[in-house]
Amino acid sequence: MRREIASVYTYISMHATQNKLQGCDASVLLESTDDNVAEKDAKPNKSLRGFSSVERVKAKLEAACPGIVSCADVLTLMSRDAVVLANGPFWPVALGRRDGRVSSATEASNELPPTSGDVPLLAKIFASKGLDLKDLVVLSGAHTLGTAHCPSFADRLYNGTGENGAYGLVDPSLDSEYADKLRLKCKSLDDRTMLSEMDPGSFKTFDTSYYRHVAKRRGLFRSDAALLFDATTKDYVQRIATGKFDGEFFRDFSESMIKMGDVGVLTGAEGEIRKKCYAPN
């Protein structure tokens, strides 16, 4: 169970803000139909996993108290509990969310924050959800857990542009020694057979080592590296990277997760309580 929850949290922590296109309504759990391609099948979401774990938890809840606990609440609770199981902080989760009925791959492809995004772009997307620059750098700390497929970062290894438009150069914002190690794992831009730890050496434990990697130019994604190119986010990265403010980060992360869990919530007569998370009632 510990492994399954951690797997679910990996995708929630990586994509939580990305998946809230309609709000915190579990739209990412809906499956595609003959006449609609759902959010989970959008290209940016191809790496998501852990859906079966959510369904198993939901099935047990439906057996015990049918029609009471929404998939949106299940997802929110599982993300919190997975952090706790990974030695991270606990925070209170307000319940009562309802599930949405709409899920669009087109919206996901057009609106999800890209892993190649810079801080101005990411900050704009976060702001549209009521989240600020501090939330951005704090929630990026969720990359302390999990792994990523090569295509999500291989452009940093093979698609950099140097002088005179040279092709195939490593992204200069990436530490060269780290880049060499990544190239050994990812042989090409589209190598989907290999995974890389987002927080090497500590990817199963919720801690602050992610920030130490970023401070050393060893963040896996361009969006990680971008945190060093904004004064506010850089200051936070360097502060937490010292290892002296773990408690501060844990408190900040808890507060940002609470804020994110309140984005676009459906209540009252809005939406529904799905019987199965993968399909509307």
> Which pLDDT value is given to residue 3?
53
Residue 148 has pLDDT above 80, yes or no: yes
Which residue intervals of the chain are DSSP H helices? 2-15, 51-64, 71-85, 105-111, 119-127, 133-139, 155-158, 176-185, 209-215, 222-225, 231-241, 246-261
- Looking at mean pLDDT, say which of 8-22, 44-58, 238-252 comes out highest: 238-252
113 is in an annotated binding site: yes
CA distance 73 to 94: 9
Reading the block at residue 65, the tokens are 């108290």
Residue 118 — pLDDT band, cuts 50, 70, 90? Answer: very high
Domains in the chain: boundaries: 2-146+198-261
252 is in an annotated binding site: no
CATH hierarchy code of domain 2-146+198-261: 1.10.420.10
23 is in an annotated binding site: yes
- Looking at mean pLDDT, say which of 153-162, 164-173, 185-194, 223-232 comes out highest: 223-232
CA dihedral 73, 75, 76, 78 (to 10 degrees): 120
User: Per this entry, what is the length of the chain?
Assistant: 281
Strand 147-149 vs strand 195-197: parallel, antiparallel, or unpaired?
antiparallel
Name the amino acid, one letter, at 90. F
Cβ contacts of 71 within 8 Å, gap of 6 or more: 26, 29, 54, 58, 99, 274, 277
> Which pLDDT value is given to residue 20?
52
Find out whether 40 and 18 touch, Cβ atoms under 8 Å.
no
pLDDT in tens, 48-85: 777 888 899 999 999 999 999 999 999 888 888 888 88
25 is in an annotated binding site: yes
Reading the block at residue 67, the tokens are 């029609």
Find out whether 50 and 68 touch, Cβ atoms under 8 Å.
no
**Comparing C-alpha atoms, which of 235, 270, 233 is closest to residue 137?**
233
224 is in an annotated binding site: no
Residue 8 has pLDDT above 60, yes or no: no
197 is in an annotated binding site: no
39 is in an annotated binding site: yes
200 is in an annotated binding site: no
> Which pLDDT value is given to residue 168?
65
> Which pLDDT value is given to residue 160?
58
Find out whether 80 and 255 touch, Cβ atoms under 8 Å.
no
Q: What is the mean pLDDT of the chain?
A: 86
Distances (CA, A) of 260 to 4, 96, 136, 268: 23, 15, 11, 20
Mean pLDDT value of segment 142-166? 76
**Comparing C-alpha atoms, which of 61, 232, 66, 45 is closest to residue 140?**
232
How many CA atoms lie within 13 Å of 267's alpha carbon, on the beta-carbon side?
7
pLDDT in tens, 162-185: 544 445 678 889 999 999 999 998
